[in-house]
Structure 1
Amino acid sequence: MALNFQQLGMLAKLKSAFSTFQQEHPKFMPFIHAVKGDACRKDSIIEISVKSPEGRNYTTNFRVTEKDLELIQMLKDMQENQ
């Protein structure tokens, strides 16, 4: 599948945004690297919590699927190719 110029531009923006995200949240990628080998595999449970500035807590979780692992691999490849 060939990408058009608009899609290439969007990919460039995504790569730039991901790079900025990494700079602004330096603990995130080391965390991902720590769990990717053993903890993040099919049927693992990922739980996400968010605390609003007002102190409200929101929590959800999901079971990791094969498709999730493919996305994680794509993000890893993107990060390595910077």
Structure 2
Amino acid sequence: MRAVDSSHDAINEPAKAPQDREALATHRRHLRKALVDDPELADQLAGLVARATRARASGARAVTIGGSHAGTEATGDGATNTALR
């Protein structure tokens, strides 16, 4: 029972302290082992990640940014952008 609690702690610890490098390393080890031990889980996770990383836009004047963006996007009739420096 304690092994299950320990794994649960290792998986959830990074959420409590995202800057804790030890917790992140332990989390990665547990995740890697879980994915190696359960190929079906690995396939499901790969599918979720693939769907989550696709950018989609729908509808008139929709804007999609599939990565990072450092500019201005405006849609609509008579849209005006003003850059304040």
For Structure 1 versus Structure 2, the TM-score category normalised by the shorter chain is: 0.3 to 0.5
Q: Is the strand fraction higher in 1 or 2?
A: 1
